[in-house]
Structure 1
Amino acid sequence: MAEVTASMVKELRDKSGAGMMDCKKALAETSGDMEAAVDWLRTKGLATASKKSSRTAAEGLVGVAVNGTTGTAVEVNSETDFVAKNDQFQDFVRTVTQLAIETGDDVEALAAASYPTGGTVADALTTNIATIGENQTLRRARRLSVTQGAVVPYVHNAAAPGLGKIGVLVALESSAPSEKLEALGKQLAMHVAAAFPLALDESGIDSEVIARERAIAQEKAAESGKPAEVVAKMVDGAVAKFVKENALLNQLFVMDGKTKISDVVAAAAKEAGAPIVLKDYVRFQLGEGIEKKESDFAAEVAAAAGV
């Protein structure tokens, strides 16, 4: 059986929101497998319904930019939060986000793009690493566009204009006045930042994610001791609830807690006197899905000193 350390318990607590002793037991039951431990806690009703990306750890910046009816979001990672406050690093992220309007989602194409001061984006990144003295990576990019309408950007707790730890784009296809679309897009983007939808609609949720939810619901329902047909209905209900809560158009608007996002869009369209389609969205949260290794600074210093 794998040794369960205090740092493992802390990490699981951060991921699940469960108590310390429950986390320790979950890790023991799953031989230290972090993902399996999260699922174990959830089958016991001891963890939140989904692992929030806000619990992950990585530094850097997310940039968002819009030009006309096209917008982009880009994430550039660094080793420490200190670098994210560096003017040179911020200028790099801001520039690269603008360049991504042309290159799109392909990070390799973005890295190969010409940088305004000479060379390529990859060259500029190499220079940053050398001068700032810390490793940095161009992690991902996403572009949205509409034929007619607006792509509205939003940065939650911005570190600088267009830069922060959570960047959102909302694409609205419509002939409605731009000021109406900008106002609606800003509200929807703030909702996306807070509610963390997994997809625009139910069909967009990954089948593997749904299968995992079904397996968890099955194990929880089976513990009820109820007849098989009742258990089956419980499982179907739990999965349906999960899908509804994680599809953007079905979510309840965070600003009133009762109106579905699809109805918010419909009401705005009625007021504007023109159809409005929420075509797509992007939500980049810094470090999402990255596991950052915990380090013991004292131990590192001792090792470097040969102690």
Structure 2
Amino acid sequence: MATITAAMVKDLRETTGVGMMDCKQALAENGGDMQSAIDWLRKKGLSKAAKKAGRVAAEGLIGAQTSGNKGVVVEVNSETDFVARNEQFQGLVKMIAQVGLQVGADVEKIKAAKVGSVTVETAIADAIATIGENMTLRRAASLEVGNGVVSSYVHNAVIEGAGKMGVLVALESTGKTVELAALGKQLAMHIAAANPQALDPAGLDPATVKREKDVLADKYRQQGKAENVIEKIVESGLKTYYKEVCLLEQASVHGEHNGKSIAQVLKEVEGKVGAAVKITGFVRYALGEGIEKQESDFAAEVAAASGKK
């Protein structure tokens, strides 16, 4: 039987907003598996969380750079948040993003690219030696369109183009560049806030959609609903789910749009832009997502550093 720790219960509670005892039971019923426990709670009607909140676990900065019809976003990790406030590290992240804009989003190509007389990899090594913390270029992504713009937004920016979250959005259009850029910035801010999982339902992982259907069906099956009724409820529930996780179906977070979907917003601005506008892709990087950071006892660390036990 899996050991259910207080930390596991705390994580599940923070993710779902459900009470401690229910979280403990959910973990116990599902062998300590976090995702299964979330689904179990949803089937019981105790939580509607569709995805993990995803605690930020690593430090460092996200860098984003754009130039006309292309853009790049990179994540450079450090051991502590102190380094993210270091001007040398901030400059390093911005430089890495600029290199990515030139050579593409392949991490190895970025590290091998030269800046002056040294490679990016050497520049990172030099920064490690100077600042005294390990640093890594974790990932990079790029977007490009034939006609149109790629816009970016950096949330919690410490300098221009580097912060705790970076978003790129690509707009294909032959319309006015200035109007497209303004729209792109607004859409990038929406993506940062709403965290869509795909552009439209077709872009969602089929396994994710199936899991959502199974959760909905099991929830109403436990309520004694007839199978033919469950089928209709599930289809209705999926439409609601798509509005929550698909960019084009999400309601705009900007009040001026009065809750209209992003697809409706795009249609509305075509007159101002002077041509049809299509979102061809987006990228949203949040610092440290998907990385587990070892928890430590700060008091114990201080005592150890001072030679005390």
TM superposition score normalised by structure 1: 0.92
* Map of 2:5 onto structure 1: 5
Cα deviation code 1:101-126 (max 9, x no counterpart): 12222212222222x24332222222
1:154 aligns with 2:153: yes
Give the conservation status (yes or no) of the 8 Å contact 2:169–2:283.
Answer: yes
* Map of 1:216 onto structure 2: 215
1:278 aligns with 2:279: yes
For 1:188-207, what aligned pairs fall within 5 Å after superposition?
A: 188-207=187-206
**4+ runs deviating over 6 angstroms:** none
1:77 aligns with 2:80: no
1:187 aligns with 2:189: no
Give the letter aligned to residue 66 of structure 2: V
- SS of residue paired to 2:244: helix
Compared with structure 1, are the counterparts of its residues 133 and 261 closer, same or farther at alpha carbon in structure 2 (3 Å cutoff)?
same
Q: How far, CA to CA, are the matches of 1:110 and 1:203 in structure 2?
A: 32
Q: How far, CA to CA, are the matches of 1:136 and 1:218 in structure 2?
A: 46
RMSD: 2.1
Give the conservation status (yes or no) of the 8 Å contact 1:27–1:33.
Answer: yes
For 1:38-57, what aligned pairs fall within 5 Å after superposition?
A: 38-53=38-53, 55-57=55-57
- SS of residue paired to 1:74: strand
Q: How far, CA to CA, are the matches of 2:59 and 2:12 in structure 1?
A: 20
Q: How far, CA to CA, are the matches of 2:56 and 2:212 in structure 1?
A: 20
- SS of residue paired to 2:137: strand
- SS of residue paired to 1:55: coil
- SS of residue paired to 1:199: coil
* Map of 2:263 onto structure 1: 262
Q: How far, CA to CA, are the matches of 1:37 and 1:282 in structure 2?
A: 29
* Map of 2:90 onto structure 1: 90
For 1:11-22, what aligned pairs fall within 5 Å after superposition?
A: 11-22=11-22
1:62 aligns with 2:62: yes
Which stretch of the first structure deviates more once superposed, 58-67 or 1-10? 1-10
Give the conservation status (yes or no) of the 8 Å contact 1:72–1:142.
Answer: yes
Give the conservation status (yes or no) of the 8 Å contact 1:153–1:189.
Answer: yes
**Structure 2 runs not aligned, ≥5 long:** none
Compared with structure 1, are the counterparts of its residues 221 and 182 closer, same or farther at alpha carbon in structure 2 (3 Å cutoff)?
same
Give the letter aligned to residue 291 of structure 1: E
Cα deviation code 1:254-304 (max 9, x no counterpart): 113521101101111122322222222111111122222222233455677
Percent identity for Structure 1 against Structure 2: 52
Give the letter aligned to residue 270 of structure 2: A
Q: How far, CA to CA, are the matches of 1:35 and 1:293 in structure 2?
A: 20
Q: How far, CA to CA, are the matches of 1:306 and 1:24 in structure 2?
A: 36
Q: How far, CA to CA, are the matches of 1:127 and 1:139 in structure 2?
A: 17
Q: How far, CA to CA, are the matches of 1:253 and 1:35 in structure 2?
A: 29
Q: How far, CA to CA, are the matches of 2:45 and 2:132 in structure 1?
A: 45
**Total equivalences in the alignment:** 306
The Cα of 1:200 is off from its aligned counterpart by 1.2
Compared with structure 1, are the counterparts of its residues 92 and 48 closer, same or farther at alpha carbon in structure 2 (3 Å cutoff)?
farther
* Map of 2:288 onto structure 1: 287
Compared with structure 1, are the counterparts of its residues 303 and 82 closer, same or farther at alpha carbon in structure 2 (3 Å cutoff)?
closer
* Map of 1:26 onto structure 2: 26
Give the conservation status (yes or no) of the 8 Å contact 2:176–2:274.
Answer: no
TM superposition score normalised by structure 2: 0.91
Give the conservation status (yes or no) of the 8 Å contact 1:156–1:166.
Answer: yes
For 1:247-258, what aligned pairs fall within 5 Å after superposition?
A: 247-256=246-255, 258=259
